[in-house]
Amino acid sequence: MLHLGGLRTALFNYLLARRYGGSFILRIEDTDQKRLVPGATENIVRTLEWAGLLFDEGPGKCSVDSTTTTFFQSQRSKIYLQYAHELLNKGAAYRCFCDARRLESIRANSSSQGRAPMYDRHCLNLSQRQIDEKLRTGEPFTIRMLSANPADPASADVAGFNDIVYGNMRFRGPAGFDDAVLLKSDGLPTYHLANVVDDHLMGITHVLRGEEWLMSTPKHRTLFKAFGWTIPQYAHLPLLMNSDGSKLSKRNKDGPIQGYIDQGYLPSAVINYVALLGWHPSDSRELFTLKELEGVFSLGGLSRSKSIVSREKLDWLNRQHLRREISSPTTLPGVAAQSDY
C-alpha cells in the first residue's frame, strides 16, 4: 500500500510536472517478484486518485505520442535484456556465474573484517573460453555492471555531481562503486538497470526520490554515461521521522495512507500536510489547496532537514480545510462524499 513517504515523493513529482508543463508518469517497479503484494498496484492508483494526483501516463493510460506500451517493469524484460547485452558488448558489464554459497562467503568475510560487502570481480577475470563453456552447459548467471573507479579523473562526473537538495556531492568509494547486479538469473532486471533504462526511454529530466538512493547515484550515473545518454537531475528527499527521532516505517501506524483515508481525513488536508514535509514556501503561509501548490511549488523550497511526522499538525490542517470547504457551496458536496469513500 502507498505510504506517507511514497505519497510525498509522488506529490513533489506531480507538482514539478504541473508547475513546469511536464508529464506525471506512474511506473510500476515490480521486478522483485518475492516482494509483490496482490492488489498493491490497484491501491496505489486508487490512493493517488483519492489525493487528486492524476497521472498523465501510467497503467491503463498512455499519451497519444507515447512510445511506451506498458508501465509495469516486469512486462518490459525484453527491453532490459537488450540494453544489458549492449553493456556487455561495450565492456561496461560482465557475466557473473558465482553461486549463492560463494557470494555468501564474500559477504561473511567482508563483515568479519568490518568492510561493506562488495563483489570481488572473480568472474571479470574469466577467459572468453571459460565463459563460452559455462554458457554451453547452461550454468546460471547474472549480469553485473563494471563500476567506475572513483580515483580515476575520467570518472569525475560520476563520482561528483550536484544534487538539488543536498548540493555538491562527492563520492570517494568504495560505497556507491560496487559492481551491482543489473540482470538477475531469472532474467528480470534490478532497480539499477530498469530505472536508468526507463528514465531514458520515458524522457525523464528530473528524478525526485528518497535519500536512501543517494548512495546508488554514482552507479546510475555510470550507467547513463556508459550508454551515452543525458543524465537527469537528481533530488533526494530526506527521511520522514517519528517524534522520537526514529525512522518512519511502512509498518508504523502513521505510515500507510489507507489509515488516513479510513479515519476520514480530507484529501486536501493530507496533501497540504505532506507538501510541508520537506518543502517550504517562500513566505510563512501554511494553508494550501492542491491547485495553489501547483502554482507555488519550486525545487528551491526543498529542504535537506528530516521532517517529523506530527498528527497534531495534520489535525490542525484538517480542521482548516474542513472549515474552508464547508463554507463553500461548491466544495460542500465533496466533503459529504468523503464519508462514503
Catalytically annotated residues: 250
Amino acid at 75: Q
- Transcribe 193-228 into DSSP letters: HHHHHHHHHTT--EEEEEGGGGGGHHHHHHHHHHHT
Q: What are the φ/ψ torsions at residue 322 (nearest 5 degrees)?
A: -65, -45
Distance (Å, whole) CA 10 – CA 227: 27
* CB 13 within 8 Å of CB 202: no
Q: Of 30, 330, 329, nearest to 191 (Cα)?
A: 30
Q: Which pairing describes strands 160-163 and 142-145: parallel, antiparallel, or unpaired?
A: unpaired
Long-range CB pairs of 188-192 (<8 Å, 24+ gap) are 188/31, 188/33, 188/74, 188/77, 188/80, 189/31, 189/73, 189/77, 189/80, 189/84, 190/31, 191/29, 191/31, 191/216, 192/145, 192/216, 192/219, 192/220, 192/223
Sign of CA dihedral 256, 261, 264, 270: positive
Reading the block at residue 325, the C-alpha cell is: 470547504
Beta strands in 146-279 (DSSP E): 160-163, 167-170, 181-183, 206-210, 233-237, 240-241
Nearest partner of 189 among 303, 39, 84, judged by Cα: 84
Report yes or no: 208 and 13 within 8 Å, Cβ to Cβ.
yes
Q: Give the contacts of 66 (CB within 8 A, at least 6 positions apart).
A: 57
Distance between CA atoms of 270 and 51, rounded to whole angstroms? 8
